[in-house]
Each structure stands twice: as structure tokens, then as C-alpha cells.
Amino acid sequence: MNNKQADKSPISLDYRDRNVVISGGSSGIGLGIARHLAALGARISIIGRNQDKLSAALSTIYEIAPDAAGYSADVRDAPRITECLTEIRRTRGEIDVVIAAAAGNFFVPAEKMSPNAFKTVIEIDLIGTFNVFSAALPLLRREDAALLAITAPQAQRPMANQAHACSAKAGIDMLVKCLAMEWGTHGVRVNAVSPGPIAGTEGLARLSATPEIERFVRDATALRKFGDVEDIARSVAFLCSPMARYVTGTVLDCDGGMRHGNFVPMQ
């Protein structure tokens, strides 16, 4: 293919005819992504455990995309995830984009963290991401299919009381690189977005037990402010679109500069 031919392929954030699945799409960042991609024309399916949460989320997506659908499943249950994705493929067509946003977290010192507490977060975040991606692979449309994981700056930058989540997210950063290497020949790109502290989310609430910690987290960003779910959704929309067709195996920091770390208080 010469460059003139290459230029004819779509260069836009148009998601019409794109079949998108989002695990963890029933609240917070995942729901923000679902609503944003719905507004760009995508057919949206969301996965979460709690049926009431799914229904509430769907009611906010229906305003934009009346054909949105929800599936109740736990990402730790690989056979159930395969069942959901197979059902989505059967009833809603080949899958173009899969976003793994489900996560679990709580603030706890490592010495008080039980083995099961550590295992639980690894299973939801890291193994859950693998379960979703590996179930999706045979069901993807192999022309610029995109898989995207949600990681965190804490994958690269340690944080006290977060040994489980930091370890899980570090695993996700490497997982997207390995899968990108293996699945590129299938026409599948695999990337991640790394959100900084995002206002109004469960994740930020769980990391900011006191106003002092909240201020510390905010001031750890270069921009000295929290992001919002729309900031993350825009980065995801770019990476999962043909605009990023030569981008794979990368982690896009959308974190106000948090990964670079600011340890010294500034005026």
C-alpha cells in the first residue's frame, strides 16, 4: 500500500457501525466512556455485576443510544464472560472495540492486607482484563479491532496502602504490550489509558479518605487539578479509532502529569 492509498482510510472519531463492549461500564469512568462513544455513534454493550447499577447506567445511555444493552457478569468468571461476549457477537454483530474498565480497590496497609484481599484485586483488575480480552479475541472484526485496558499512574509510581492495586495495574501495563505483540498480526491493536485522579468517581473517593489525602493526590499532578470522566473518554475515543491505527502496545497517560510525580509542595 502506498501513502496515497493509505490516506483514503477513515480519519475521524466517527463510531457509527462500531460495536463496542465495556466491562465496568455501569459507573464512573467506564460509564463516561460508554456515553461518549455512544454520542459518537457506537453500538454500546456494558458489563457489570450489579443489575440495578446496569439498569441505572443504561437509562442514562438510552438518551443517546436507544439500542444500548447491559450484561450482568463478574470479570473473574471467565466462562460467564465468554458467554456474554458470545451473546453480544450473536445478537449485535462482530465486535470492533473492547474496553476493560472494571476494577476493585480499597485503601489498606500491606501489613493489614490479607492474602485474599491482595488476590481479590489482582483477580478483578489483572486477571479480569485478561479474561475479557481473551474471550473477545475470536469474536472481533479483524480490521482495526481495538482492545483497551484502564490502568493507573500507580502502575509506575508506588503508592502507600495500594500494594494490591499498584501490582495489578503494573501487570496490566505489561499485559497490553505482550498482547499487542502477539495479536498485531490478527489486525488487533491493544493499548491502555492511565487516568489520574478523576473527580466524582468511586476510585477517587476510595483513595481520598481525608481532605488532606485528597489535597495530596491533587497536588501530585502537574496541573494541580482533578480530571473528569470526559477527559478519559476523549483519550479512549482516540486510541480505539482509526486515528490511532498505527498505535499499539502503548499506555497513554491522561493524568494531569501525575505519573511524573510531584513530591515537593509548591506555592
256 binds, among ligand HXC, ligand NAP, none (CB under 5 to 8 A by kind): none
Please give the angle made by the CA atoms of 250, 256 and 258, to the nearest 5 degrees. 75
Q: Does 120 bind ligand HXC (CB under 6 A)?
A: yes
- Minimum CB separation of residue 31 from ligand HXC in Å reads 12
Binding site for ligand NAP (CB under 6 A): 23-30, 48-50, 53, 74-76, 101-104, 124, 128, 150, 152, 195, 197-198, 201-204
Mask for 138-157, x = binds ligand HXC (CB under 6 A)? --------------x-x---
Q: How far apart are CA 123 and CA 113, in angstroms?
A: 15
Q: What is the 3-state composition of the chain as percent helix, strand, coil, each rounded to the nearest 5?
A: 50, 15, 35
Spatial separation of the C-alpha atoms in residues 151 and 167, rounded to whole Å: 11
Residues 123 and 133: their CA atoms lie apart, in Å, by 14
What is the full DSSP assignment across 142-200? Answer: SSSEEEEEE--GGGTS--TT-HHHHHHHHHHHHHHHHHHHHHGGGTEEEEEEEE--BTT
User: Would you count residue 117 as binding ligand HXC (CB under 6 A)?
Assistant: yes
How far is C-alpha 6 from the geometric centre of its chain's CA atoms?
Answer: 29
Which option in ligand NAP, ligand HXC, none does residue 30 bind, with CB closer than 5 to 8 A by kind? ligand NAP
Q: Nearer Cβ to ligand NAP, position 101 or 179?
A: 101
Which residues on neighbouring strands pair with residue 71, listed in sequence order? 47
Kindly tell me which of 152 and 233 has the beta carbon lying closer to ligand HXC: 152
Residue 117 contact among ligand NAP, ligand HXC, none, beta carbon within 5 to 8 Å by kind = ligand HXC
3-class state of residue 14 by DSSP: coil
Tell me if 108 contacts ligand HXC by CB under 6 A: yes
Residues 203-222 binding ligand HXC (CB under 6 A) are 203, 206
Minimum CB distance to ligand HXC, residue 107 (Å): 7
Question: Is 162 a binder of ligand HXC (CB under 6 A)?
Answer: yes
Question: Does 52 contact ligand HXC by CB under 6 A?
Answer: no
53: number of Cβ within 10 Å: 17
Q: Which positions lie near ligand HXC, rule CB under 6 A?
A: 103-106, 108, 114, 116-117, 120, 152, 154, 162, 165-166, 169, 202-203, 206
